[in-house]
A and B are shown apart, each in its own frame.
Chain A
Amino acid sequence: MQDQLNDFIILSGRSNLPLAQDVGKLLKKEVYQCITSFADGEIRVKIPVNIRRRNVFIIQSTSSPVNDNLMEVILMIDAAKRASASRISLVIPYFGYSRQDRKEASRVPISSAVVASMLEHAGCDSLLTIDIHSEQEEGFVSVPWDNLYSSYSLIPTIREKKLSNLVIASPDKGGMIRATGYARLLKAEGVAVVYKKRDFEVNNKSEVMAMIGKVRDKDVLIVDDLIDTAGTIAHAADHIKRHGARSIRVAATHGLFSGPALARLSQSAIEEIIITDSIKQKDEVINNKKITIVSVANLLAEAMKKIESGDSISRNLILER
């Protein structure tokens, strides 16, 4: 039988080429770039190789500039479909708009559903994401959607730190399942949760209210899916510090670091921030001494191998649940 692994094709948009190339290296595959721009800013796609009857993976994070990166992936799907690809699998390490996943007020769109249905309408056959904001979003499309957890990549790095009396904290109520998962994997002493109330009339401002769990004299690891302006994390860290924690670290999958994020983090009680390369980072993040970047290339490469070979992803790559 023909070795399928030798046949598939990896295409990359412009949002996170280094990650795509790392995945390519692990899979011993060339990564093809296919995007340029017209003078007026319209995106131009051209797939440079024959992909007829090939399985195609498109790797693209829809991080900032989110609308351009989205259009890139949509047009790449269209080009791949018209070039007679057998199967088009999207690998979207960071899925933009995933926080707008419900009607938080009357007369608003469900933007994440709009994005997901655009990808499906363009003709993708499956999606692969890491730590999507809410897993119900998988139901926005009728094609298979595998969501991975970055804990596969982050846990080994955290274990190396040999934190002795570890407590895992969630910076909000929604993150409790993740926190308990980490607590189990890291054999932590306990779990804590900081509540906040987010006011939708005042955008991106969050307020710390209360905490459940004991953190006094503990090494606390706050886990979250993403760090955007870092308001939530910094508030939670300060709250935990006030309750007597010995040290505070943060592990999060997606580092958006928008607006005042880096300033807030440097002023906060947080000792160290561990994030992944799901989003390509700017130099000020890479060179920031508080921030450690862990690659998810291995996780993605393993998942792509399993997609190609038909092995179970949940049995081998999902540790958290």
Chain B
Amino acid sequence: MKIFSGSSNKPLAEKIAEELNNHLSPLDIFIFPDGEKRVRVIDRVVDENCIVIAPTAPPVDSNYMELFLILDGLKRSGAKEIIAVIPYLGYQRQDHIFRDGEAVSLEVVINMLGATGVKKIICFDLHSMHTSELSKIPMKHLSALPIFVEEIKKIIGLSINDVVLISPDMGGVRRIKILSELLNNMSYAAIEKNRDLASGEISAENILEGNINNKKQAIIVDDMISSGKTLVLAAQMLKDKGIEEIYAFGTHPIFSNDASERLQASIIKKVFVTDSVYVPKDKMFDKLEILSISKLIAREIVETLSV
């Protein structure tokens, strides 16, 4: 087995390789002066199973293109089976046509991965639970929820009846129910979030499912943190309704624009994310804690290859 890393999240790839008692095989990734990338596989890969670790977080198009080129290089070099580990799958939110004349970008990128010879995709906490079911390529959909459960247990201590799990939108209800089951049926509630499709502005309206009466601690759980506006809006609303302490969990730290500043300045006490997406130094903030998904991915790789 050979393990390769794209340039988007090398620290995660190194951790996964370590978990597998292996090391990363080198790739020569060169950017020409005009911005085109040139990829070269250094080691021989004939008849080797190849794992490529490359979350397609921003800059999304350049990360996808790099991944396609790595996959093509491996395929043409005689690799046996190629498994793409894409902890964060870019374009996953564009999974259906919201308005006439739009593309289904998610299907486009999955088709491209299929065309470049990927046998299996391993990814994490997809925006829609249906994505892995509808994918034309076998897709293993892992979740960071088991990792979150351990952290949540540490936060709540003995006061389980004071705590409520919160989904910041109705789309996350299925996720929050699973988490509730993993935490001895902890109470949960979902907020009604509205997004104006034309302007992109969001608003948190009110509690739609479950209730938060007599609760002191709230744990908001989402799949990704992009601008952070959803979390901050939800937190403010929860505080207005009497919650005293608010934590946030999000699998993918996309952190666009001034998300870090927004979250640090918010009433949220601590923000937990995973290392599915690399967080550069200038986007780190005091309230942020990063949990690693490397063990879960390593385990899945072992299981995949042992079949």
Residues on A with beta carbons closer than 8 Å to the beta carbon of B101: 34, 45-49, 51, 79, 83
B250–chain A nearest beta-carbon distance, Å: 13
Q: Are B30 and A107 in contact, CB atoms less than 8 angstroms apart?
A: no
CB of B45 within 8 A of chain A?
A: yes
Which residues from chain B contact A44 at a C-beta distance below 8 Å? 94, 102
The stretch among A23-31, A62-70, A144-152, A185-193 that forms the contact with chain B is: A62-70
How many angstroms between the C-alpha atoms of A78 and B94 in the bound complex? 12
CB pair A118 B254 closer than 8 Å: no
Q: Give the contact stretch, choosing among B5-13, B107-115, B169-177, B265-273.
A: B107-115
Task: Flag whether B288 is at the interface (Cβ < 8 A).
Answer: no
Asked if B111 contacts A121 (CB within 8 A), the reply is yes
Q: Check B72 against A78 for contact (C-beta < 8 Å).
A: no
Do A121 and B115 touch (CB < 8 A)?
yes
Q: Which residues of A contact B32 (CB under 8 A)?
A: 203-204, 228, 258
A118 touches B68 (CB 8 A): yes
With an 8 A cutoff between CB atoms, is B65 at the interface?
yes
Known A39-B226, A79-B101, A259-B33; contact A109-B115, beta-carbon cutoff 8 A: no
Q: Which of chain A's residues 250-307 have a Cβ closer than 8 Å to chain B?
A: 256, 258-259
Size range of the interface on B? 35 or more
Residue-wise interface mask of A (203-220) relative to B, using a CB-CB cutoff of 8 A (1 in contact, 0 not): 110000000000000000
Assembled-state Cα–Cα distance A98/B195 (Å): 41
The reply to whether B108 and A75 contact each other, CB–CB distance below 8 Å, is yes
Q: Mark A60-102, 1 if CB is under 8 A from B, else 0.
A: 0001111110110011101100110000000000001101100
Please count how many residues in chain A sit with their CB below 8 Å of the partner chain's CB atoms: 54
A108 near B38: Cβ-Cβ < 8 Å: yes
A319 interface hit (Cβ, 8 Å): no
Partner of B102 from A45, A66, A107 at Cβ < 8 Å: A45
Residue of B whose beta carbon sits closest to that of A106: B77
Known contacts A78-B105, A108-B39, A114-B69, A258 near B64 by CB under 8 Å: no
Query: Chain A binding site: helix, strand, loop or mixed by DSSP?
Result: loop
- Residues of B contacting A245 in the complex (Cβ-Cβ under 8 angstroms): none
Interface string of A109-148 (1 = CB under 8 A from B): 1110110011001100000000000000000000000000
Cβ-defined contact, A67 with B35, below 8 A? yes
Please, which residues of chain A bring their CB within 8 A of the CB of B108?
74-75, 78, 122
A111 contacts B72, CB within 8 Å?
A: yes
Q: Which residues between 197 and 248 of chain B lie within 8 Å of chain A, taking CB atoms?
A: 200, 226-227
The answer to whether residues A39 and B256 also contact, given A67-B61, A118-B112, A228-B33 and a CB cut-off of 8 A, is yes
B147 contacts A by Cβ under 8 Å: no
A204 touches B33 (CB 8 A): yes
Cα A319 to Cα B2 with chains together (Å): 51
Q: Does A42 lie within 8 Å of B257, measured CB to CB?
A: no
CA distance A110 to B70 in the complex (A): 10
Q: Is B40 an interface residue (CB 8 A)?
A: yes
Q: What distance in Å separates the Cβ of B35 from its nearest Cβ neighbour in chain A?
A: 4
Q: A100-B38, A114-B69 are in contact. Are A45 and B64 (CB under 8 A)?
A: no
Nearest CB in chain A to that of B77: its residue: A107
- Whether B34 contacts A40 by the Cβ 8 Å rule is no
**Interface membership of chain B positions 65-85, coded 1 if the CB is closer than 8 angstroms to chain A and 0 otherwise:** 110111111001100000000
B154 within 8 Å of A by Cβ? no
* Nearest residue, chain A, Cβ from B44: A107
Asked if A12 lies at the interface with its beta carbon under 8 angstroms from chain B, I say no
Determine how close the nearest CB of chain A comes to the CB of B80; give it in whole angstroms. 15
- CB contact between A111 and one of B45, B69, B91 (< 8 Å): that residue: B69
Q: Known: A39-B227, A100-B38. Contact between A107 and B45, CB under 8 A?
A: yes
Residue in A49, A68, A106, A108 whose beta carbon sits within 8 Å of that of B61 in the complex: A68
Q: Give the residues in chain A near B30, CB-CB below 8 Å.
A: 203
Residue B99 lies at the interface, judged by CB distance under 8 Å to chain A: yes
State in angstroms the CA–CA spacing of A105 and B227 once bound together: 43
17 A/B residue pairs, CB under 8 Å, sorted by A: A41-B60, A42-B94, A44-B94, A64-B34, A67-B64, A71-B65, A79-B102, A100-B36, A105-B40, A108-B76, A114-B68, A114-B116, A118-B68, A121-B112, A203-B30, A203-B32, A203-B38
Known A64-B35, A79-B103, A106-B77; 19 more pairs at CB < 8 Å = A39-B257, A40-B256, A44-B102, A45-B103, A65-B61, A71-B60, A76-B103, A78-B107, A82-B97, A83-B101, A96-B34, A100-B36, A100-B38, A103-B76, A107-B42, A107-B43, A107-B44, A107-B77, A203-B38
